[in-house]
Amino acid sequence: MKGSVKAMSIHVLEKFPVHAVFSTRQDGIMGSSKNPGPGGEYVKNRNRFASRFGINAPTQLVMMGQVHGKTVRRIPPFPKPERTFGTDGTAVAVLRVPDTDGLVALMDTPKIALAAFASDCHLAYLYYPAAERGLPAIIGIVHCGRAGQRLNIARESIQRIWRAGATSVSEIQVAIGPGICRRCHILYPERHASDIMFFRREYEDFVEEIDEPRGAVALDSIGILRHQFLAEGLKEQNIEVVGMCTACPENRALFISHRRDHTPDGANMNQMGFIVPA
């Protein structure tokens, strides 16, 4: 991975005709697809961020309306502009696909970028190269938080790319973006009893018992995601992990973190699109 403190990019995908990037705190609060921010501040931040990669956000940035589910949709069909409202009544029209946690698009789609928002959840960036028989390349971006891991949205994303035209799962490239690390991802029995039970049963190798508080565990979300993608037939060498934790105290100046800062509106934006020659 390389880049300045602002707008970091995913190294493994830089050799392909795509941009796969994530914002940092210096890029501003990004809100969510339904939250334009006071006076449209968050939308302005998103528009400014997208424009650095040749994307006109009002007409080309397609955002997912995340619900911590496992639905992955293909673009097109394109969403119609939807009016979103801030707490102060500010109304801004955006391109938003409601009730979805993953988006996939083909390279023959008119120039767009896909976007998702997270403050501690991991995002997976997916790329399938153009097939020998002339089929277009495919991109995808998927919201892979703890709920998505329980539902195995990784599997859904690979199946969606397959249905979009992929002919060899082993050629799919995946990059797991910044998110909460095992050290910071503590599950507490009084709040996360169901999750603790599930992950102990299904992914015991990625659950670590900790001394204090009693009954709490540390969860290795990156390990779970790698395991899930490998189980779908991806190659080990085609999975990159950025490895930057959004919640670690030393990254406070770099990333917004709900777990660390308890900020209701704060979110980092993750964006992926094709690089289209001018």
Whether 62 contacts 97, CB under 8 Å: yes
**Which three-class secondary structure string do you get for 3-62?**
CCCCCEECHHHCCCCEEEEECCHHHCCCCECCECCHHHHHHHHHHHHHHCCCCCHHHHEE
What is the pairing mode between strands 8-9 and 102-106?
Answer: unpaired
Q: Which long-range contacts (CB under 8 A, 24 or more apart) does 130-138 make?
A: 131/165, 131/166, 131/167, 131/168, 133/167, 135/165, 135/167, 136/106, 136/107, 136/108, 136/165, 137/16, 137/17, 137/18, 137/106, 137/107, 137/274, 138/104, 138/105, 138/106, 138/107, 138/164, 138/165, 138/166
Number of domains within the chain: 2
Q: State in Å, rounded, how far the first CA of the chain is from the last one.
A: 25
Pairing label, strands 138-144, 122-128 = antiparallel
Number of Cβ within a 10 Å radius of residue 135: 17
Query: What φ, ψ does residue 35 adopt, rounded to 5°?
Result: -120, 100
Residue 27 included in any domain: yes
Q: Identify the DSSP state of 143.
A: E
Domain assignment present for residue 3? The answer is no
Supply the range of the domain harboring residue 155: 8-179+221-274
Note down pLDDT in tens along the chain; length 278 residues. Answer: 433 345 578 877 988 999 999 999 999 999 999 999 999 999 999 999 999 999 999 999 999 999 999 999 999 999 999 999 988 999 999 999 999 999 999 988 888 999 999 999 999 999 999 866 678 899 999 999 999 999 999 999 999 999 999 999 999 999 999 999 999 999 999 999 999 999 999 999 999 999 888 999 999 999 999 999 999 999 999 999 999 999 999 999 999 999 998 877 779 999 999 986 55
Q: The domain spanning residue 265 has which CATH number?
A: 3.60.140.10
Domain for residue 151, yes or no? yes
Can you list the alpha helix ranges (DSSP code H) found in 96-238? 146-151, 153-163, 189-202, 221-231
Contacts of 179 (CB under 8 A, 6+ apart): 118, 120, 121, 122, 123, 145, 221, 222, 245, 246
Task: Clarify whether residues 168 and 242 are in a common domain.
Answer: yes
Q: Are residues 225 and 214 in the same domain?
A: no
75 shares a domain with 209: no
Q: Tell me, yes or no, whether 131 lies in a domain.
A: yes
Same domain, 214 and 96: no
> Are 78 and 172 in the same domain?
yes
Q: Tell me, what's the pLDDT at 12?
A: 78
Three-state SS at 111:
coil
Within this chain, do residues 174 and 254 fall inside the same structural domain, yes or no? yes
Beta-bridge partners for 158: none
Whether 217 and 151 have beta carbons less than 8 Å apart is answered as no
Same domain, 202 and 76: no
> Do 144 and 259 reside in the same domain of the chain?
yes
- pTM, full prediction: 0.94
Tell me: the pLDDT tens digits for 28-68? 999 999 999 999 999 999 999 999 999 999 999 999 999 99
Assigned domain for 2 exists: no
Domain check: are 84 and 133 in the same one?
Answer: yes
**What are 77's two structure tokens?**
């069909």
For residue 56, give every residue at least 6 positions away whose Cβ sits within 8 Å of its Cβ, in sequence order, or none. Answer: 50
